[in-house]
């Protein structure tokens, strides 16, 4: 069993998930991640889309033990064991939730520098859903 | 129009494979009726609100009508309230509003959840559907991970120690030992709880709730008619409720729950009292860190100092502000929709001074509070009560 976001609805967010493009409010300048119909800060609805750098830092994180993640990630957890999830504070200001991948959980700290990578998220109805995860950014302190 | 609680009842919380949803509800309802000192003809109940997530999906539509007919209330106007783990508290708020409006004389607020019927996989689905599904859950985390991230941030910003966080579980288990209606009636020691298998770092399995069945019922009426039914009506002094962004990454502060703060501020204002006046509280400790945040959100201490209350033992049964004398969600049990009403049952007994087990009775408590949170703070509801004159 899994919760459900249909393919057409998922597809409508590919600009965000694949290319890290997100809307900035024309009225108050707030970056909305993920995109909203009404600005999270001022409630207005006119945006300019921009491409993000994909750079950010760990705001907080957790290492979820096998079986502790949502059922959509069971297959991944069978292979990887634990799964690292973080709230990432983007360089542009907004926060997102994402998995950290290809990293040693022991080395993750609040404040660790990160960069976004393109990865498989999960499988549903035989279709692979892709999006961003983050890796440790070795080039920054 | 003032509102009084005239009767409360709840099933034991636990694992009851042979009791159906209807059987659980019937049991809680009968106990609430028996609890009305001078008796109540059920026909006097004019309106009902029933909080439940409907875990399992066995009966999703029209559940409130079904449960009403089960207890002989066919025909009564009934509403299903769903605000995740805060469903019960919001059901109660609706009943309070109905009495205050003058439209009803007597109303029922209830909560119920039947969680243990389900295969493990299906239960895990239901446990994770009350957060943000599209971006949070499908990025890889539901509640254990979300509360773990809140705990990590609290530790980072405020220097809160893991042993204080897990100390919440130790305290609440110690209380549940003396509560015959609690699910986990055994003490745990801090050393062992700290070494328990990790669930979502830094939270171990001892920092989380179990899977629970249970039902609870509260009957309210106009305060000016309460003495017809009981000599010990418990008054509803204040009610507050609020919502917040479901996904925690959309929130500015991750060391507290803004919805709970807003709900508390409203309830205190209505009641005309402040945090220092609260003598007993049942708070929403779905994970241990949630109780630490609740202390701060409710103003029991300064921001960032929630851990000190556990370190110094201030919220133990014999402390100055006993919190979760029932054992809390952690040890009394957390049957999602029933939890908020179960909290009210406990506080009503505490304020009437008739807790069955004297060791759990907070002596002379006159003002009590319940704090009920949905999901990771997407919803929150707070009520303040006063003991009978
Ligand atoms: Zn704006």
DSSP per-residue letters across A14-47: HHHHHH-EEEEETTT--B-SS--SS-TTT----E
A24-57 tens-digit pLDDT: 999 999 999 999 999 999 999 999 999 999 999 9
- Taking an 8 Å cut-off on Cβ atoms, the answer to whether A87 and B134 are in contact is no
In a domain, B172, yes or no: no
Average of per-residue pLDDT across A82-99: 96
Residue B334 counted as domain residue: yes
DSSP state of B83: B
CA dist., res. B185 & res. B172, Å (int): 10
Which residues on chain A are in Cβ contact (under 8 Å) with B136?
97
Q: What is the CA radius of gyration of chain A?
A: 16
Whether A79 is covered by a domain: the verdict is yes
Residue A141 included in any domain: no
Strands (E), chain A: 21-25, 47-51, 55-64, 83-90, 95-100, 113-124, 127-136
Task: Give distance in angstroms: CA of A39 to centre of ligand 1.
Answer: 5
Q: Would you call B248 and A59 a contact, using CB atoms and an 8 Å cutoff?
A: no
Which pLDDT does position B352 carry in this prediction?
Answer: 98
Q: Domain tally for chain A?
A: 1
The pair of three-digit structure tokens given for residue B87, joined into one six-digit string: 């469903």
Q: How confident is the model at residue A125, as a pLDDT?
A: 83
d(CA B169, CA B173): 6
The pLDDT of residue B53 is 94
Q: What is the pTM of this model?
A: 0.97
Quote the CA–CA distance of A61 and B46 in Å, as a whole number.
Answer: 49
- DSSP-derived letter for residue B287 is B
pLDDT of A1: 44
Instruction: Determine, for residues A110 and B153 on separate chains, whether the beta-carbon distance falls below 8 Å.
Output: yes
> Considering only CB atoms, which chain B residues are within 8 Å of A112?
none
Buried-exposed string B270-281: b where 16+ CB fall within 10 A, e elsewhere: bbebeeeebbbb
Q: Which of B122, B135, B254 sits opposite A60 (nearest CB)?
A: B254
> Could you tell me the CATH number of the domain that includes residue B95?
3.40.47.10
CA dist., res. B373 & res. B339, Å (int) = 10
Residue numbers of chain B with a pLDDT score lower than 70: none
Q: Specify whether the backbone of B105 is left (phi greater than 0), alpha (psi in -120 to 50) or beta.
A: alpha
In order of B116, B215, B288, the CA distances from B18 in angstroms are 10, 15, 30
| β-bridge partners, B236 | B3, B385
In a 3-state reduction of DSSP, which class is residue B370? strand
Give the minimum alpha-carbon distance from B248 to chain A in angstroms, rounded to a whole number.
Answer: 8
Residues of B labelled catalytic? 85, 334
Name the band, by pLDDT with cuts 50, 70 and 90, for residue A2. low
For residue B26, what are the domain limits? 3-119+210-383
Query: Which residue range is the domain that position A66 belongs to?
Result: 7-136
Interface residues from chain B to A (CB-CB < 8 Å):
121-122, 124-125, 128-129, 133-142, 144-145, 148-150, 152-153, 156, 197-203, 245, 247-250, 254
Distance CA A22, CA A15 (A): 8
Phi, psi dihedral angles at B336 (to 5 degrees) = -30, -65
B-chain residues near A62 (CB < 8 A): 141, 145, 148-149, 152, 200-203
The answer to whether the CB atoms of B145 and A3 lie below 8 A apart is: no
> Which ipTM value was assigned to this complex?
0.96
Inter-chain contact B137–A62, Cβ cutoff 8 Å?
Answer: no
CA distance B59 to B290: 30
A69 alpha carbon – ligand 1 mean position (Å):
33
Decide: helix, strand or coil at residue B88.
helix
> Are B259 and B242 spatial neighbours (Cβ–Cβ below 8 Å)?
yes
Q: Provide, as residue numbers in chain B, all residues whose Cβ is less than 8 Å from the Cβ of A96.
A: 135, 249
- Counting the structural domains of chain B, the total is 1
pLDDT of A111-130, one tens digit each?
999 999 999 999 888 899 99
CB B182 within 8 A of CB B126: no
Determine whether the interchain pair A85/B145 forms a contact, defined as Cβ–Cβ distance below 8 Å.
Answer: yes
Average pLDDT over residues A11-36: 97
């Amino acid at each position: 069993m899994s919760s459900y976001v249909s393919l057409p609805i998922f597809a409508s967010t590919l600009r965000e998930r694949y290319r890290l493009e997100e809307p900035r409010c024309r009225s108050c300048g707030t970056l909305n991640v993920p995109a909203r119909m009404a600005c999270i800060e001022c409630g207005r609805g006119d945006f300019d889309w921009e491409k993000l750098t994909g750079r950010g830092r760990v705001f907080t994180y957790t290492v979820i033990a096998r079986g502790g993640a949502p059922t959509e990630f069971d297959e991944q957890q069978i292979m990887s064991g634990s799964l690292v999830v973080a709230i990432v504070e983007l360089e542009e200001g907004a926060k997102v939730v994402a998995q950290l991948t290809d990293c040693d959980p022991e080395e993750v700290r609040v404040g660790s520098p990160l960069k976004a990578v393109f990865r498989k998220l999960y499988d549903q109805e035989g279709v692979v859903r892709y999006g961003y995860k983050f890796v440790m950014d070795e080039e920054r302190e | 129009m003032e509102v009084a609680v005239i009767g409360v009842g709840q099933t034991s919380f636990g694992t009851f494979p042979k009791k159906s949803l209807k059987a659980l509800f019937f049991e809680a309802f009968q106990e609430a009726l028996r609890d009305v000192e001078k008796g109540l003809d059920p026909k006097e109940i004019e309106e009902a609100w029933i909080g439940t997530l409907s875990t399992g999906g066995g009966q999703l539509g029209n559940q409130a009508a079904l449960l009403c007919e089960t207890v002989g209330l066919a025909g009564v106007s009934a509403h299903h309230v769903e605000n995740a783990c805060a469903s019960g508290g919001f059901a109660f708020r609706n009943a309070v509003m109905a009495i205050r409006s003058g439209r009803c004389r007597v109303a029922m607020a209830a909560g119920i959840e039947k969680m243990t019927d389900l295969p493990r996989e299906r239960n895990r689905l239901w446990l994770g559907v009350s957060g943000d599904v599209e971006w949070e859950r499908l990025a890889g985390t539901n509640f254990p991970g979300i509360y773990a991230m809140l705990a990590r941030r609290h530790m980072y910003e405020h220097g809160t120690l893991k042993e204080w966080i897990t100390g919440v579980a130790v305290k609440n288990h110690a209380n549940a030992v003396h509560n015959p209606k609690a699910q986990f009636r055994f003490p745990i020691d801090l050393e062992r709880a700290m070494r328990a298998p990790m669930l979502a770092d830094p939270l171990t399995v001892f920092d989380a709730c179990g899977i629970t069945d249970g039902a609870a019922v509260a009957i309210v009426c106009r305060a000016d008619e309460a003495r017809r039914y009981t000599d010990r009506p418990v008054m509803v002094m204040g009610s507050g409720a609020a919502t917040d962004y479901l996904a925690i990454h959309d929130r500015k502060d991750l060391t507290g729950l803004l919805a709970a703060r807003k709900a508390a501020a409203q309830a205190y204002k209505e009641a005309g009292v402040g945090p220092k006046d609260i003598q007993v509280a049942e708070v929403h400790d779905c994970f241990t860190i949630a109780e630490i945040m609740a202390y701060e959100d409710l103003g029991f201490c300064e921001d960032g100092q929630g851990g000190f209350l556990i370190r110094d033992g201030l919220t133990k049964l014999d402390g100055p502000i006993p919190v979760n004398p029932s054992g809390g969600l952690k040890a009394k049990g957390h049957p999602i929709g029933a939890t908020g009403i179960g909290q009210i049952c406990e506080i009503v007994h505490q304020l009437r001074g008739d807790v069955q087990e004297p060791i759990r009775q907070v002596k002379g408590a006159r003002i009590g509070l319940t704090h009920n949170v949905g999901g990771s703070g997407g919803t929150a509801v707070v009520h303040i009560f006063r003991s009978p004159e």
